[in-house]
Structure 1
Amino acid sequence: METPAQPQHQTQPQPQPRKRSWIPIVVFLSALVVACVACVALAVLMGRSVESTAESIHEEAVQGSGEWKIAIIPVTGTIQESAGGFTTSAATPESLKAMLDQAENDSKVKAIILEVDSPGGEVVASDEMYREILDFKQRTRKPVVVRMVSTAASGAYYISMAADKIVANPMTLTGSLGVIMEYMNFSKAADKVGISQVVIRSGEFKDIGNPFRDPTKEERQILQQLVDEAYNQFVNVIAQGRKMPTSRVRQLADGRVYSGQQAKQLGLVDELGNLDKAVQVAEQLAGIKNAQVVRYRHSVSLLSLLSSRLQMSTEPDAMKILRSAGYDITPRLMYIYRP
């Protein structure tokens, strides 16, 4: 009698220990490092400037290969105190000073050409740039020639008064000699949507320029006095720069724009021509020939770009639109051409 076969027990495979993956840990640590670096960079940007403007200037060869150099310094865009925030194209006193300092420290630079293409801008910034040019000339004795490009109006003409000579294209738009103060008035729109503003003030004129109401007669007089003072300063700067009687300047400074050709006939510019003409005039003033012409440029660093974007992100969209169009909700004195 056969013994029945005993069932065979199959040995179950033992689970292998799972290999630990280091990829998530590496990814986490990398993200942590990036976040820390970003926080440090943000703190630096918020606390101080991490990079001097002068270090970001480089030269571009334009023409010539002589021993001595003529440096072209661009003055492009709206003139304002700071270029950060709402615009990528602006001419500022800080930027101009940095380029003038570089030209001063370069012993081979014998003359400056300010390449002006601007409608003007803020009164204070224009005056600061004007005085920076005068100080540069006094310190270095290097001649300064202005080359007007498409537009060199109002505040841009103001700063040109510090130059030794002015060269304009016959079709350059210049002039617009005068001052403007403007601000937005939302009173009618506020009435339509039922918005009112409560103002508690320490004095009668503390909220002068309030955009939610019309200005009073007395407020208009106060603001007009400021405009008149800035206008008189503009007239005096032109009279000194062009060696022209103030009475004649006032005849010309009624706010209208002139072509380069008209400006030459009126004595507002010295020569008509392009860059070659400006170089020729600069060489004559400096007593040199066959100069190497270079153009200064600002290199935009990543940190300065991040700083600009940070400023933009903290400003309301409505304000960005108004500022990019050249308007503000608060009164500001402007040497600017409004087409």
Structure 2
Amino acid sequence: MRRFLNRLLPKSMRSEAVTIPVIRLHGAIMAGGSQFRPTLSLAATAGVIEKAFSHADAPAVAISINSPGGSPVQSRLIYKRIRDLAAEKNKTVLVFVEDVAASGGYMIAVAGDEIIADPSSIVGSIGVVSASFGFTDLLKKVGVERRIYTAGKNKAVLDPFRPEKKEDVERLKALQLEVHETFIDLVKDRRGSRLKDDPDLFTGLFWTGKKGLELGLVDALGDMRQVLKDRFGPKTRLQVVSPPRGFFARRLGFLGGRAPSDLAADAAGGLFDAAEERALWSRFGL
């Protein structure tokens, strides 16, 4: 409505302020999540992403990223949705890194035409990691016998209650290498000649924003407000895009009459999500 009314005014009276929609993508990247601990996934972010790109008069969309990574699939899906809409709507995408854009967080960051970080931001960690626990000795100590029945000899691969097998680990590593190659190809395609020829670039190491600038992982150092005002004028307005109406009600379970047992299951799932998310953040000292 503001833009419509602005067009009705004589040119001399029109506001020259540019409005830039801002998306905040903060948190670990995981499919699903819970009502008690929302996470980043395509399902959780598609609404705000599409809403931001629907601002017809905006020359760009700004994305604030603060994520230690998580699911490579969800990371790539979010990345692709951003790039698809940028092409469809002919928008420039400016990504601003806060504390960290690492692993899957950096995969989303390369959706930006430019990546701007704080000198002390953490960027990179272009690699793939899998983690689990082994409980074989624990079962012996408490006198519990593991019983598992499968159809298909590989159905119980890497079962945490059975001894680890060399061939199972080798298969997992082969899968990780394929995912890693996809990640590397995506970064090379987006960053191109801006990347420096450094042997550690794709080893999973991570750096500060300052070092990331030297390596070509980011394009500049700065903060969102100042960069956007320098780019589009001192009257530039930043408009944070909120989730579609009803999002928080659905997430908190106020709609739909959910049973107490479902809420209890979500609460338990939230504890596991919290532990996994805490492990992701702790890798970067956060």
Q: Name the TM tier (shorter chain).
A: 0.7 to 0.9
Contact 2:117 2:218 in 1 (8 A): yes
Q: Does 1:290 align with 2:235?
A: yes
Q: 1:234, CA displacement in angstroms?
A: 0.8
Partner residue in 2 for 1:71: 21
The answer for the alignment partner of 1:56 in structure 2 is none
Matched, 1:171 2:116: no
Counterpart of 1:306 in structure 2 is 253
Partner of residue 48, structure 1: none
Q: CA deviation at 1:191?
A: 1.5
Matches within 5 A, 1:20-169: 66-85=16-35, 87-88=37-38, 90-169=39-118
Q: 1:223 aligns with which of 172, 178, 183?
A: 172
| RMSD of equivalent CA atoms | 2.7
Residues 13-24 of structure 1 aligned to structure 2 (within 5 Å) = none
| Partner residue, 2:137 | 188
Q: Aligned partners of 1:237 and 1:83: how far apart in 2?
A: 26
Report the Cα distance in structure 2 between the residues aligned to 1:281 and 1:250, rounded to whole angstroms.
35
Tell me, which stretches of 5 or more residues in structure 1 are unaligned? 1-64, 328-334
Aligned mates of 2:101, 2:261 — CA distance in 1: 31
Change in 2 beyond 3 A, CA 1:85/1:310: farther
Q: Are the counterparts in 1 of residues 68 and 100 from structure 2 also a CA contact under 8 Å?
A: yes
Task: State percent identity of aligned pairs.
Answer: 24
Looking at structure 1, the residues matched to 281 and 100 of structure 2 have their Cα atoms a distance apart, in angstroms, of: 11
- Change in CA separation of 1:247 and 1:151 when aligned onto 2, cut-off 3 Å: closer
SS of residue in 2 equivalent to 1:114: strand
| Residues 191 and 216 in structure 2, CA contact (< 8 A), matched pair in contact too | yes
Displacement of 1:250 after TM fit?
5.8
1:246-303 residue CA offsets vs partner (Å, 9 max, x unmatched): 99476312122200001001111000011234414763xxxx7733211122365334
Deviation by residue 1:177-204 (Cα, 9 ceiling, x = unmatched): 1000112222221121011211111222
**Deviation by residue 1:71-113 (Cα, 9 ceiling, x = unmatched):** 110000001222324524x222123321222123222332111
Deviation at 1:323, TM superposition (A): 2.9
Contact 1:113 1:278 (8 Å CA) reproduced: no
Confirm whether residue 235 of structure 1 aligns to residue 189 of structure 2.
no
User: 1 or 2, which has the higher strand percentage?
Assistant: 1
Q: How far apart, CA to CA, are the structure 1 residues paired with 2:195 and 2:163?
A: 35
Task: Give me the TM-score of the superposition, normalised by structure 1.
Answer: 0.70
Instruction: Kindly indicate whether residue 155 of structure 2 is the aligned counterpart of residue 206 of structure 1.
Output: yes
| Structure 2 gaps, min length 5 | 1-14
Match of 1:109, SS?
A: coil
Name the TM-score, length of structure 2 as normaliser.
0.82
Runs of 4+ in 1 over 6 A off after TM superposition: 307-310
Conserved? CA contact 2:110–2:191, under 8 Å: yes
SS at match of 2:217: coil
1:152-183 Cα offsets, whole Å, 9 max, x none, are: 11101011111100000000011111000112
